[in-house]
Amino acid sequence: MKKSRILTGHRPTGPRHIGHLVGTLETWAQLQDSYECFFLVADLHVLTTNYHPEHLQDNILNMLADWLAAGIDPNRATIVLQSIIPEHAQLSLLLGMLTTVARLERVPTYKDQARELNLQPSSGLLTYPVLQAADILLYKAKIVPVGEDQLPHIELARELARRFNRTFGRIFPEPRAQLSNAPRLPGTDNRTMHTSYGNAIFLRDTPEETARKIMSMYTDPTRLRADDPGHVEGNPVFALLDIFHADKDELSELKTRYEAGKVGDVEVKQLLAVSLNAYLVPLRARRAELYAQPKMLMEILYSGTVKAKFEAQQTLEEVYEKMGLLHSQSISEKALANNIAGVFC
Ligand code: TRP
């Protein structure tokens, strides 16, 4: 039986952190067994909120090294670089005709970003979810594994698929979001772990950097002395121990002692540093080896992109045809007839 197709992706904002690892990458790695997976490096989407041309390439390499180290397998999945396939931008433009500015202004991520940025939002930011819909529909993906924050974008992609199918004829399956059941990790300051908050532990951090970050972590603010009873609930050190500490019995005994005021924060943090570093050892070795081979990483990215390009082209031709536009093949036949093939080919 043909496997269902998945498409998902990340914006290449730099190295991945442990929140990405347990929130998405470990799930993606597993999905490769049962689905035909497309993983998108959404570099155009990065441009909606910041552009640092000098960092973009290195951010892509860092992200790719982390993806592969976490188990994304280019022999089983297709890794796609968005900006090299013009069909993403073309389909986005066409889908943009099928929604209203008012509808896009109501997307919650747009409102949040517009508030956070101290700039007038660009039209690119407004149409961010239209480009994302194009990413998904271009490959006719059925399932889109994402975090909760992305649900409004998938909803728009579904709407656009329905509207296109109704208006021009059926091409697109209606994509469905698949929520990851992994919890969002707290960062060192107990807000959600996020690259831009400065509270993240990165996969590429050394064991020493990791330990240093953990030792400076927020714990239980109500606890002033080590013999005060501590709170486990809402304590980010324990939230991370729950995920990364392998010995669950030892952990539950530690929690009991913490709540009884019998163990200090320092000891608990030291244990987390040891557990997390142990968890990351094999991954870090692979990621260092991969990151040291940028040419190979780019080759992997290009070979996935070439495969994807073929699919993207086919879909766009169908879309052109349904929308009454001339696609390149029909143009070149007509052009040939008029002896002006050279202009188009
Ligand atoms: N917007 C997604 C994010 O920030 C990244 C993304 C771009 C994406 N295109 C996509 C995710 C298509 C799923 C499908 O995480």
Residue 132 has a pLDDT of 98
The verdict on the CB of residue 13 being under 6 Å from ligand 1 is no
Spacing, Cα 153 to ligand 1 middle (Å):
9
Residue among 16, 45, 88 whose CB has most ligand 1 atoms within 8 A, to mutate: 45
Residue 173 has a pLDDT of 98
Spacing, Cα 46 to ligand 1 middle (Å):
10
Let me know how many helices (H) and strands (E) the chain has, helices first: 17, 5
The verdict on the CB of residue 8 being under 6 Å from ligand 1 is yes
Kindly tell me if the per-residue pLDDT of 343 is higher than 70.
Answer: no
Residue 340 has a pLDDT of 59
Residue 120 has a pLDDT of 85
Contacts for 54-57: CB closer than 8 Å, 24+ residues apart: 55/14, 56/12
The verdict on the CB of residue 82 being under 6 Å from ligand 1 is no
The verdict on the CB of residue 154 being under 6 Å from ligand 1 is no
- Nearest CA to 319 among 87, 116, 118, 48? 87
- Nearest CA to 276 among 209, 230, 220? 209
Q: How is the beta sheet containing 36-41 ordered, strand by strand? A: 78-81, 36-41, 5-10, 143-146, 176-179
For residue range 74-130, what is the model confidence (pLDDT) as tens digits? 999 999 999 999 999 999 999 999 999 999 999 999 999 888 877 789 999 999 999
pTM summary value: 0.93
Residue 335 has a pLDDT of 65
- By percentage, how much of the chain surpasses pLDDT 90? 83
Q: Which atom of ligand 1 is nearest to the CA of 131?
A: 9
Instruction: Determine the Cα–Cα distance for residues 129 and 126; give it in Å rounded to an integer.
Output: 8
Confidence of residue 331 (pLDDT cuts 50, 70, 90): low
The verdict on the CB of residue 136 being under 6 Å from ligand 1 is yes
Please list the residues that pair with 38 across neighbouring strands. Answer: 7, 78
Name the CA dihedral angle for 199, 55, 122, 167, rounded to a multiple of 10 degrees.
-100
Residue 339 has a pLDDT of 63
Kindly tell me if the per-residue pLDDT of 40 is higher than 60.
Answer: yes
Pairing state between β 5-10 and 176-179: unpaired
Mean local confidence (pLDDT), 167-195: 93
The verdict on the CB of residue 9 being under 6 Å from ligand 1 is yes
**20 to 46, 96, 305: CA distances (angstroms):** 17, 30, 23
Comparing 53-62, 156-165, 223-232, 258-267, the range with the smallest average pLDDT is 223-232
Determine the longest span between alpha carbons in the chain, in angstroms.
89
Q: What type of residue is 160?
A: L
For residue range 271-319, what is the model confidence (pLDDT) as tens digits? 999 999 999 999 999 999 999 999 999 999 999 999 999 999 999 999 9
Confidence of residue 222 (pLDDT cuts 50, 70, 90): confident
